[in-house]
Structure 1
Amino acid sequence: MIKVLLAEDMHMIRAALSALLRLEPDIEVVAEVTRGDEIVPAALSARPDVAIVDIDLPVMDGITAAAALRPRLPSCRILVLTALGRPGQVRRALEAGIEAFLVKDAPGERLADAVRRTAAGLRVLDGKLVSAALEYGESPLTPRETTVLREAARGASAEEIAARLHLSAGTVRNYLTGAITKTGARNRLDAVRIAEDAGWL
């Protein structure tokens, strides 16, 4: 029996995934979580063979959570799900050592097959996504520019970002200018769009 942990914040999608997997005679859903920071504690408690992790989770994104889980529970393999196969996200997943990367609009039967293959130690990656990731390159943004741009993506002003990150508003503006320049954007909104499309945020 393959034990699975599901990490998905959208209740209907998580329920549908769980119901789909429960139809399989050799797969058992042993834990379900809605936030990235819940993945490691739930996995340490339930000891799944495979963690199915959505990238866009609240509090902590799925790739970061998966990278934190690997050293704590090496026997648990990771299958990342995403609504959009962004090249930067695929690259991050590969660099984090994630074994499988599946787009959510794949046919339902592919999920159970991907779980079995991931549990067996095989890589399950869409060839087109991997090619695009390798072609696209790494993020040009520094960690601080990424953090500031991520806050800007939530609609925060420079002053609000400064207060949250304990920086001056001028420093935040400098980081935003750096991000705009490095992404080749016209303004901060364009920089957010480019970085999100690339999977850098």
Structure 2
Amino acid sequence: MGIIGSQIKPFNATAFQAGKDFFLVTDEDVRGKWAVFFFYPADFTFVCPTELEDLGEHYDMLQKLDVEVYGVSTDTHFSHKAWHDTSDKIGKLKFAFLGDQNHTLATNFDVLRDGAGLADRATFVVDPDGVIQLVEQTCEGVGRNANELVRKIRAAQYVRANPGQVCPAAWEEGEATLAPSLDLVGKI
């Protein structure tokens, strides 16, 4: 079975978030709202801060959509704090960073690179029931786009709230959706 439609596995991780003491996040904390797990290879790297900054620019919008964001790498929560304290880009971010030095999350989400101890560049969107609804994974040198992530989350939320309807390619909030039926076969 693929990871889409599967339940997130149990985990606990120590988090760093600006303005807070270190705190524990578990799979139970994720239930009841939408969540983004934004895996990246390592702190103090090159493409990662550009992606995280882009995601940070969308954080308030995601919060309004009832989405919590977790940046995840196999670094420790101490490393996340040090990066936050020394990088202009990372220092602006408001979302939580989970330390995954034991590789629990990277293993649970199947993004741990064999023999490297690093996570692949991957994004998972989890619904309020703890079910993985969206996955995006790219190679090391290709950064992600938070605009597209927000669009996909809106589509997933729409489909969840409107059973029997689906969002076509490039769907944007407010546009027409489809209600799959035999009448549509061969007509789209």
**Which structure is higher in helix share?**
1
**Fold similarity call, TM over 0.5:** no
Normalising by structure 1, we get a TM-score of: 0.29
Normalising by structure 2, we get a TM-score of: 0.31
Larger CA Rg, structure 1 vs 2: 1
**Which structure is higher in strand share?**
2
Question: Which structure carries more relative contact order (alpha carbon 8 Å, separation 6+)?
Answer: 2
